[in-house]
Structure 1
Amino acid sequence: MLLGIEWDTANNWVFAWSILPILLKGLAVTLQATALGFVVAAVLGLVLAGLKSSRSRIVSWPARFLTEFIRDTPLLVQLFFLYHVLPEYGIVLPAFLTGALALGIQYSAYTSEVYRAGIESIARGQTEAAHALDLSALRTFSVIIVPQAIPRIIPALGNYLVSIMKDVPVLSVVSVLEMLNVAKIIGDRSFNYLIPLSMVGGLYLLLTLLAAAGVRRLDTRLPKQGLPLR
């Protein structure tokens, strides 16, 4: 019996080592989707936050409505809309790009609220001083308010980076070969799901720990008074 267990264990290690290169290719897709999705979420979220902070209701109300609409509809619905509906209107995007955009758009609603909280934490006197110096609203927002707000919201943005990473497996529904989808295919073909899924779980744990450590390090290194103004 012991010999049988040792033989199975040895075979399991061989199997795990043999599928590792394939899983690493899926890992690369996961990281790319995470990075692109986070960039879209960070940029679009900042734009939405700026529009929502406008004093004009014509500008702020549509931005607030769009934020609520994105936040209150499931990611899968948005993903299927981009993947299946847009081609009917002549807009055809690769599955990977569609998935990354869906992730970015979904999380832009959350990052916009993070930005809004950071912006509102800046003393109103900063804005009044910029107006006294005859700076435009756009320049005030981009070079005075945002550089001071960013160090205060790094931990919250880092949390959403990790959340995006963990939501990447949703892209498997549109045939994106990210890490979990690769593991599932391996399991389907080998009738062994334990090893590939366990390896994916371990890789995700490692990724999230590294991301969290990176965010903490960035949070401690950034000046709390804000980024240098230009």
Structure 2
Amino acid sequence: MMWSWSYVQEILPTLLRGLLVTVEATVLGYALALVLGLAIAVLRHSAGRVTGQVLRWAVEFVRSTPLLVQLFFLFYVLPGFGITLGALATGVIGLGVHYATYTSEVYRSGIESVPRGQWEAATALSLPSRRVWTGVVLPQAVPKVIPALGNYVIAMFKDTPLLLGITVLEMLGSAYKAGSESYRMLEPVTLVGLLFVAVSVLAGLLVRRLERRYGN
């Protein structure tokens, strides 16, 4: 099969629209993962022993099951219980919850790196719990883990092709659809690979900058 530049020009707009969907799913899923992961980390540290153990096992369960299985459960099983979500919304939630279990561990390491004396000083001053977290702990913990958190946005971006399994026409889904209609897979799949590389490299450069800024 010979490479066809005319076919590339024909399908490129479709693939770029798929790229926008991919980026949208990544950005929204990553935002959810950051917020939910922080909530899990704070609750595991400050809640009671029972709540902490429940959250720990929930995190381990999610991390131990494949993301594709979780997406299938959300999209194909939950409607049987009366919970129906759109394909993209399901993908965002699936990505966000899955990666929240990883970001929560990153946050937890940052929280545990805060010197014990800081906690004791806050207790001695009788600061309310909310003030301890927002004014003492998190301002010290979060900057330390920003580089590690940045790595997960790249991993999530590369996991978005799994959304094809729940009918989201992201970049790979758009390529597969175009290739199926024309019976040509060389150009669409190659272009998808190149677009993934280009975006991942740019994101990687940003993460390296974050590492240089916050890694010390």
TM-score norm. by structure 2 comes to: 0.94
Cα offset, 1:184, TM superposition: 0.8
Q: Is the contact made by 1:75 and 1:106 (CA closer than 8 Å) also made in structure 2?
A: yes
> Which whole-Å CA distance do the structure 2 matches of 1:66 and 1:211 have between them?
30
After superposition, where does 1:142-153 map in structure 2 within 5 Å? Answer: 142-153=134-145
After superposition, where does 1:8-19 map in structure 2 within 5 Å? Answer: 12-19=4-11
1:193 equivalent among 156, 178, 185: 185
Aligned twin of 1:42? 34
Q: What secondary structure is seen at the aligned counterpart in 2 of 1:92?
A: coil
What's the Cα RMSD here?
Answer: 1.7
Cα offset, 1:223, TM superposition: 9.0
Aligned twin of 1:97? 89
Q: Structure 1 residues 205, 223: CA separation in 2 closer, same or farther (over 3 Å shift)?
A: closer
Q: What secondary structure is seen at the aligned counterpart in 2 of 1:202?
A: helix
Q: Which moved more, 1:73-82 or 1:110-119?
A: 73-82
Cα offset, 1:119, TM superposition: 0.9
Cα offset, 1:55, TM superposition: 5.9
In structure 1, what residue type is equivalent to 2:126?
A: D
In structure 2, what residue type is equivalent to 1:71?
A: R
> Which whole-Å CA distance do the structure 1 matches of 2:173 and 2:215 have between them?
41
TM-score norm. by structure 1 comes to: 0.88
Larger gyration radius, structure 1 or structure 2:
1
Cα offset, 1:128, TM superposition: 1.2
In structure 2, what residue type is equivalent to 1:37?
A: G
Q: What secondary structure is seen at the aligned counterpart in 2 of 1:134?
A: coil
In structure 2, what residue type is equivalent to 1:23?
A: L
> Which whole-Å CA distance do the structure 1 matches of 2:48 and 2:9 have between them?
59
In structure 2, what residue type is equivalent to 1:31?
A: V
Aligned residues: 216
Percent identity between the two aligned chains: 49
Q: Is the contact made by 2:26 and 2:153 (CA closer than 8 Å) also made in structure 1?
A: yes
Q: Is the contact made by 1:41 and 1:111 (CA closer than 8 Å) also made in structure 2?
A: yes
Does 2:117 match 1:125? yes
Gaps of 5+ in 2: none
Cα offset, 1:222, TM superposition: 4.8
> Which whole-Å CA distance do the structure 2 matches of 1:49 and 1:35 have between them?
21
Aligned twin of 1:155? 147
Q: Which moved more, 1:190-199 or 1:54-63?
A: 54-63
Does 2:61 match 1:63? no
Aligned twin of 2:74? 82
Does 2:208 match 1:216? yes
Aligned twin of 1:72? 64
Higher relative contact order (CA 8 A, sep 6+): 2
Q: Which moved more, 1:213-222 or 1:13-22?
A: 213-222
Per-residue Cα deviation, 1:20-46 (whole angstroms, up to 9, x for no partner): 111000000000000111111111111
Q: Is the contact made by 1:183 and 1:196 (CA closer than 8 Å) also made in structure 2?
A: yes
Aligned twin of 1:113? 105
In structure 1, what residue type is equivalent to 2:65?
A: T
Q: What secondary structure is seen at the aligned counterpart in 2 of 1:130?
A: helix
> Which whole-Å CA distance do the structure 2 matches of 1:44 and 1:55 have between them?
15
Q: What secondary structure is seen at the aligned counterpart in 1 of 2:184?
A: coil
In structure 1, what residue type is equivalent to 2:70?
A: Q
> Which whole-Å CA distance do the structure 2 matches of 1:74 and 1:67 have between them?
13
Cα offset, 1:216, TM superposition: 2.1
Does 2:163 match 1:137? no
Q: What secondary structure is seen at the aligned counterpart in 1 of 2:127?
A: coil
